[in-house]
Amino acid sequence: MCRGGDRRCLLWFAGFLSGKYERSSIPKGSRFDVIPGHADIYFTDQKFAIVERLRQKSAETGHSMVRLAMGWVLQKQDITSVLVGASQLGHLGNGIEALEMDFPDEWVREMDGWGVGDEGSD
């Protein structure tokens, strides 16, 4: 949900930012295996570039890619709620840890520059 009903800040990533997807292989039983039509929305050069930057930030900070992505979303004042599709207990744990983690302003500014939300992510 976004303040003022602005749909542009409603981001759907369907697990894509977890880093488990590659251009050439989709894990069996994953969301993009079960609903392959959604892959076209996410499997773009820009989105894979964002995943790679997130992977680098994860290695730099020691935080998982999922936690960093969720932590960034939780820092956005225009986003009033975050929905986590949890099929496993660990998914909820990532959300709680993202909520509780220290997320420096410089990380927010850096990740803002990656283009998340551009090119039809919403």
Domain limits for position 79:
7-112
pTM above threshold 0.95 = no
Stretch 49-68: mean pLDDT: 94
Q: How many domains does the chain have?
A: 1
**Residues linked to residue 25 through DSSP beta bridges, in sequence order:** 22
| Residue 119 covered by a domain | no
DSSP state of 25: B
CA distances from 105 to 95, 109, 112, 114 (A): 19, 6, 10, 15
The region of weakest confidence among 37-41, 52-56, 94-98 is 37-41
| Residue 41 covered by a domain | yes
| Residue 48 covered by a domain | yes
